[in-house]
Amino acid sequence: MMFAHEIAEQVRTGKRSARAVIEESLARADAVQAELNAFISIPRAAALAAADAIDKKIANGEDPGVLAGVPVVVKDNICTKGIRTTAGSKSLEHFVPPYNATVIERLQAAGAVVVAKANLDEFGMGSSNENSAYGPARNPWDASRVPGGSSGGSAVAVSSGVAPIALGTDTGGSVRQPAAFNGIIGYKPTYGRLSRYGVIAFASSLDQVGVLARSSKDIALVMDVMAGHDEHDATSIPEDKPQFLASLNAADLAGIKIGLVTELSGEGNTEGVLAAISRTKDLLSRLGAQVGEVSLPNAPYGIATYYLVAPAEASANLARYDGMVYSTRIGENALGQAEVMMKSRGATLGPEVRRRILMGTYALSSGYYDAYYGKALKVRRLIANDLEKAFSEFDFVLTPTTPTAAYKLGEKSSDPLAMYLDDIDTVLANLAGIAAVSVPAGKAEEGMPCGVQFLAPAMQDEKLIRLLSALELAQGETFAPLSPFKG
Q: How many domains does the chain have?
A: 1
Domain boundaries, position 171: 4-251+435-478
Longest dimension (CA), the chain: 71
Q: Is residue 343 part of a domain?
A: no
The confidence score (pLDDT) of residue 339 equals 82
Is residue 150 annotated as part of the catalytic site, yes or no? yes
Q: Which helix (H) or strand (E) holds 453?
A: strand 449-456
d(CA 213, CA 219): 7
Query: Quick one: pLDDT at residue 334?
Result: 67
User: For the segment 208-265, what is each residue's pLDDT rounded down to a tens digit?
Assistant: 999 999 999 999 999 999 999 999 999 999 999 999 999 998 668 999 999 999 999 9
pTM score, two decimals?
Answer: 0.97
Beta bridge partners, 185, equal: 213
Residues contacting 347, CB < 8 A, separation 6+: 90, 328, 330
Among 119, 122, 127, which Cα is nearest to 160's? Answer: 119
- The answer to whether 174 is a known catalytic residue is yes
Q: Active-site residue among 25, 150, 215, 438?
A: 150
Q: For residue 114, what is the enclosing H or E element?
A: strand 113-118
Cα–Cα distance between 80 and 77 in angstroms, integer?
9
Report the residue count for the chain: 487
Q: What are phi and psi of 234, to 5 degrees?
A: -65, -20
Q: What is the average pLDDT across 325-348? A: 80
From the list 25, 41, 75, 327, the catalytic residue is 75
Does the residue 360 lie in any domain? no
Taking only Cα atoms into account, the Rg of the chain, rounded to an integer number of angstroms, comes to 21
What's the rounded Cα separation, in Å, for the pair 471 and 81?
37
CA angle 108, 467, 77 (to 5 degrees): 35
Instruction: From 32, 69, 73, select the one nearest 50 (Cα to Cα).
Output: 69
75 is catalytic: yes
C-alpha–C-alpha distance, residues 260 and 216, integer Å: 22
Answer yes or no: is 426 within a domain: no
Whether residue 364 lies inside any domain: the answer is: no
Which residues touch 294 (CB under 8 Å, ≥6 apart)?
Answer: 259, 260, 261, 262, 390, 393, 394, 397
What one-letter code names the amino acid at 193? R
> Kindly report the CA angle at 446 between 442 and 450, in degrees rounded to 5?
30
Tens digit of each residue's pLDDT (9 = 90 or more) over 184-203: 999 999 999 999 999 999 99
Catalytic residue among 25, 89, 91, 174, which?
A: 174
Query: Does 365 map to a domain?
Result: no
Contact in structure between 482 and 160 (CB atoms under 8 Å): yes
How confident is the model over 360-415, as pLDDT tens digits? 999 999 889 999 999 999 999 999 999 999 999 999 999 999 999 999 999 998 89
| DSSP designation for 319 | G
In a domain, 266, yes or no: no
- DSSP assignment letter at 407: -
Q: Give the chain's mean pLDDT.
A: 96
Give, for 211, the enclosing helix (H) or strand (E): strand 209-213
Give the pLDDT confidence score for residue 347 in this predicted structure. Answer: 85
Sheet holding 71-75, edge to edge: 39-41, 113-118, 71-75, 165-169, 209-213, 185-188, 435-443, 449-456, 396-400, 257-261, 290-294
Q: What is the distance between the alpha carbons of residues 26 and 289, in angstroms, rounded to a whole number?
A: 42
111-162 pLDDT, tens digit each: 999 999 999 999 999 999 999 999 999 999 999 999 999 999 999 999 999 9
In a domain, 192, yes or no: yes
CA distance 248 to 242: 12
Within a domain: residue 51?
Answer: yes
Q: Identify the CATH number of the domain in which residue 230 sits.
A: 3.90.1300.10
Helix orientation angle between 302-317 and 375-393, rounded to the nearest 10 degrees:
130
